Amino acid sequence: MTSYGDLLGPPPTLLTGDDEAESELLNGTAPATVAAGSPTASIAWAYLAEAELADVDTETAGAGEVPPAVVAAYAYARTGYHRGLDQLRRHGWKGYGPVPWDHQQNQGFLRCVGVLARSARLIGEEDEYLRCVDLLNDCDPRAAEHVGVVQP
């Protein structure tokens, strides 16, 4: 259940982001270089994870042999997810409550959760997929659509 927009729920968590990493990515620095230089920046891990899934035929990836890119996407997304959880906790998040998509600095974390959900489903981790969908919905009911996650 989400408390998004609930005046009695916790206030939205707004991450401060990593301006240097975000600037490097926007200026064309390779995401792997940015992730190595700023390993706490979820946005760099999101770029890496999304790039791995970009060329995967998701219609056939879950049926039979799993392409290595799906496993790489899962690993990158999980790293960015955990780095994002660390940041959220430092900003007062208690494991629930709104993390609005509209706040640009939250998008690295939310994008990682989205790729984690999609890649988990492709490797047959349905429980992980459902946990990620629940997390996205708790953070911001609009986030799943932005990150390409289909509601179950």
- Per residue in 106-136, pLDDT (tens digit) is 999 999 999 999 999 999 999 999 999 999 9
Number of C-beta neighbours around residue 90 at 10 A: 10
The 10s digit of each residue's pLDDT in 20-42 is 999 999 999 999 999 999 999 99
Q: How many domains does the chain have?
A: 1
Q: Comparing C-alpha atoms, which of 91, 92, 112 is closest to residue 101?
A: 112
Indicate whether 81 belongs to any domain. yes
* Type of residue numbered 5: G
Indicate whether 7 belongs to any domain. no
Give the Cα separation of 99 and 3 in Å (integer): 10
pLDDT band at residue 62 under the 50/70/90 scheme: low
Indicate whether 83 belongs to any domain. yes
Contacts 24+ apart (CB under 8 A), 128-136: 136/110
pTM of the model: 0.93
Indicate whether 30 belongs to any domain. no
In the predicted structure, residue 61 carries a pLDDT above the cut 80: no
